Amino acid sequence: MPRPVKPDRPVIAEPVVEPIQGTTIVVIHAGSSVLRIGRTTDHYPHSIPHVIARKITSNDLFSKYSGKNLFIRKGGQHAESDDKKAHGLRSAKTLIQAMRISGGHRKPRTTPAEVASYNSQVRPAAVDNDGSVSWTDVSAMPNFFIGEQVLSLPSSAPYSIRWPMAHGQLNIHSSVGGSVTSIAADLQTLWGSAIETYLEIPVKDLNYYRAVLLIPDIFERAHVKVLVDVLLNRLKFSCVIVGQESVCGAFGSGLPSACVVDVGAEKTSICCVEDGISLPSTRVTLNYGGNDITRCFYWLLKMANFPYRSIDTEDQFDAQLLQELKETFCHLSMEIPSGHVHEFQVVRPNENILVYKLRLGDEPLLAPTSMFVPDLFGIVDEPLIKTFPEILECDPEDLMDHRYLLEKRDVDTKKAKGENENESQEFISLSHTAPIEHAKLKALRLDGMPLDEAIMYSIEQCSNQETKRKMYGTVLLIGGGMNFKGTDEFLLKRLQSQLSPHYHFMKEQMEVITRPKENDPRTAGWKGGTVLSILDSSQELWISRKEWNQYGVRILRERCAFQWSTNMDKQ
């Protein structure tokens, strides 16, 4: 006897599993600042700036830089920002002093006054330019540039620079180029050009290829829908599989279970992964990351009389220079003494190279400490913590979205009134789950949460003690935002110091892994995407273009290897 079909849930055909080859699978990890892309068979992905520049026509009446700038953050330009940073600086110095004492590192420290005095007297030395850095050639006036070429465009070039992603989501804004339609077109052009340039696959042949798409753990469903549509209907991939960053990060590190901490350029994602499954209740996103550390480092350098006084943070070369200085000098090691004199170069096309001396005190240590003292970022009136996506609109294609479910509950509640009162109350209770969770963190959303406390919060959301012990035992730190010397030991000590008494026995078992299998932590998620694509258990998760166009977003509910629903639509 055939099984009855529920009228409110669409019937989706079972996927057809076909033998596939790794050379025909492209893995795409689209970050806010970096696009990592490559075949499943590649050892490493191609990493390029995730940016596109489009030619401005004579009819365009908008600013060249309609996207975003590394050193412009609305919440960091508030009237109260400086006071908040000053408070954060005092707290960070206290924290560092405590860490030094606990580690037995009582080395003499150069004072800020000595550092500032030295730097104020520095004058650059000019040397001949070897021509290794040049402006992007715009003589042919192509319709667009991508990646590194965008960052080397002359300031006079008639191009609009756009970053399609921000904080792990679509970079939707009110300027021209910030609509969903424009962003989808930019992604199509940017990804398509990267595939042709770096993977040497003609876009017209993508019908013979499959794509793996990595998305954040806390995702906006409408944004995922756009990304999948770009891959299947714009770039014409034959199939796509969607994986979450935390799970892929664990896979790429060879760990079935871990508390995954992914520090990116603009966000930090924390999620507990158990046996390859992302635990929804443990997902936390902090809306700050590596770029905020760079901004903090620059603020500290200015207080130390940074000798490159003509620096322009809106200039792409100067912005890249500050990123390089952060990556070169910043650390979280108590063993590195302060007061050393370093050297750096300012290299610009068609100009002499300027060589500067730079004395540094605790600035390289204080900047990354901002992840543990978020007041140092000086961000005011911006939501800094997210535990689930904000559902703003309903999707008419998704018959099981949150509004449909809530309306159905109302109808079912009325029908069951007087008969199933307990069940009705359960429906009502579930519909309020998300607002209650939202209220719990309301006070923290604007002040931020230190990285160590956010990790503890995530682990404590696990449902049982055994899982919690497992997560405390393996904290995996990936991404490029905190790739500093000494980060693993610093974070481990911070976590150990906050363990509740009944977990003290775990101290010796705790481990913070920053270089899984000695690989680059920045590529762990991408590597996990290659693993996901070849797992036997993943072969039924592929979504074909035909299925996508027939069923739309509904098929993501059936084929995703994670919970597509949010707290708002629990059943």
Q: Are residues 58 and 160 in the same domain?
A: yes
List the beta bridge partners of residue 284. Answer: 270
Residues 6+ apart with CB under 8 A from 117: 305
Question: Three-class SS string for 379-435?
Answer: CCCCCCEECCCCCCCCCCCCCCCHHHHHHHHHHHHHHHCCCCHHHHHHHHHHHCHHH
Q: Are residues 284 and 300 in the same domain?
A: no
Q: Are residues 271 and 365 in the same domain?
A: no
Say what the pLDDT of residue 304 is.
97
Q: Are residues 445 and 507 in the same domain?
A: yes
Provide the pLDDT confidence category of residue 471 given band limits of 50, 70 and 90: very high
Q: Which of 330, 355, 377 is the last residue of a domain?
A: 377
Say what the pLDDT of residue 369 is.
98
Q: Are residues 181 and 235 in the same domain?
A: yes
Task: Report pTM.
Answer: 0.89
Report the C-alpha gap between 49 and 153 in whole angstroms. 13
Residue type, 30: A
Provide the pLDDT confidence category of residue 4 given band limits of 50, 70 and 90: very low
Does residue 52 form part of some domain? yes
Tokens encoding 301? 């350098």
What is the rounded average pLDDT for all residues in the chain? 86
Report the C-alpha gap between 529 and 249 in whole angstroms. 8
- CATH number of the domain to which 338 belongs: 3.90.640.10
Provide the pLDDT confidence category of residue 417 given band limits of 50, 70 and 90: low
Q: Are residues 112 and 203 in the same domain?
A: no
Q: How many domains does one find in the chain?
A: 3
| Spatial contact of 520 and 47, defined as CB atoms under 8 Å apart | no
Does residue 173 form part of some domain? yes
Say what the pLDDT of residue 5 is.
42
Provide the pLDDT confidence category of residue 6 given band limits of 50, 70 and 90: very low
Q: Are residues 272 and 389 in the same domain?
A: yes
Residue type, 266: E
Q: Are residues 113 and 227 in the same domain?
A: no
Q: Are residues 299 and 373 in the same domain?
A: yes
Tell me, what DSSP letter sits at residue 106? Answer: -
- CATH number of the domain to which 188 belongs: 3.30.420.40
Closest CA to 453 of 494, 425, 421: 494
Report the C-alpha gap between 182 and 78 in whole angstroms. 30
Tell me the mean pLDDT in the region 15-26.
Answer: 74
| Spatial contact of 544 and 263, defined as CB atoms under 8 Å apart | no
Does residue 568 form part of some domain? no
Provide the pLDDT confidence category of residue 505 given band limits of 50, 70 and 90: confident
Say what the pLDDT of residue 568 is.
39
Say what the pLDDT of residue 59 is.
60
Say what the pLDDT of residue 131 is.
83
Tell me the mean pLDDT in the region 165-194.
Answer: 94
Does residue 273 form part of some domain? yes
Q: Are residues 391 and 463 in the same domain?
A: yes
Closest CA to 164 of 191, 141, 130: 191
Range of the domain at 125: 74-132+291-377
Residue 437 pLDDT exceeds 80: no
Say what the pLDDT of residue 430 is.
39
- For the beta sheet containing 52-55, the strands, ordered from the edge strand earlier in sequence to the opposite edge, are 144-146, 52-55, 159-162
Q: Return phi, psi of residue 162, to 5°.
A: -135, 135
Tell me the mean pLDDT in the region 224-240.
Answer: 97
Residue 384 pLDDT exceeds 70: yes
Q: Are residues 193 and 299 in the same domain?
A: no
Say what the pLDDT of residue 418 is.
52
Provide the pLDDT confidence category of residue 402 given band limits of 50, 70 and 90: low
Tell me the mean pLDDT in the region 214-235.
Answer: 95
Provide the pLDDT confidence category of residue 567 given band limits of 50, 70 and 90: very low
Q: Are residues 224 and 148 in the same domain?
A: yes
Closest CA to 315 of 475, 151, 200: 151
Between vectors from CA 40 to CA 37 and to CA 41, what angle results, nearest 5°?
Answer: 115
Tell me the mean pLDDT in the region 369-389.
Answer: 91
Closest CA to 496 of 536, 452, 463: 452
Report the C-alpha gap between 67 and 177 in whole angstroms. 8
Does residue 6 form part of some domain? no
Greater model confidence, 69 or 496:
496
Provide the pLDDT confidence category of residue 18 given band limits of 50, 70 and 90: low
Closest CA to 555 of 4, 9, 64: 9
Report the C-alpha gap between 485 and 365 in whole angstroms. 10
Say what the pLDDT of residue 343 is.
97
Residue 557 pLDDT exceeds 50: yes
Report the C-alpha gap between 260 and 507 in whole angstroms. 18
Does residue 283 form part of some domain? yes
Residue 565 pLDDT exceeds 60: yes
pLDDT digits (tens, 9 = 90+) for 304-324: 999 999 999 888 899 999 999
Does residue 268 form part of some domain? yes
Residue 62 pLDDT exceeds 60: no
Grouping H, G, I as helix, E, B as strand and the rest as coil, residue 461 is coil
| Spatial contact of 219 and 499, defined as CB atoms under 8 Å apart | no
Residue 566 pLDDT exceeds 60: no
Q: Counting beta carbons within 10 angstroms of the beta carbon of residue 19, is it exposed (0 to 12), middle (13 to 18) or buried (19 or more)?
A: exposed
Does residue 297 form part of some domain? yes
Provide the pLDDT confidence category of residue 69 given band limits of 50, 70 and 90: low
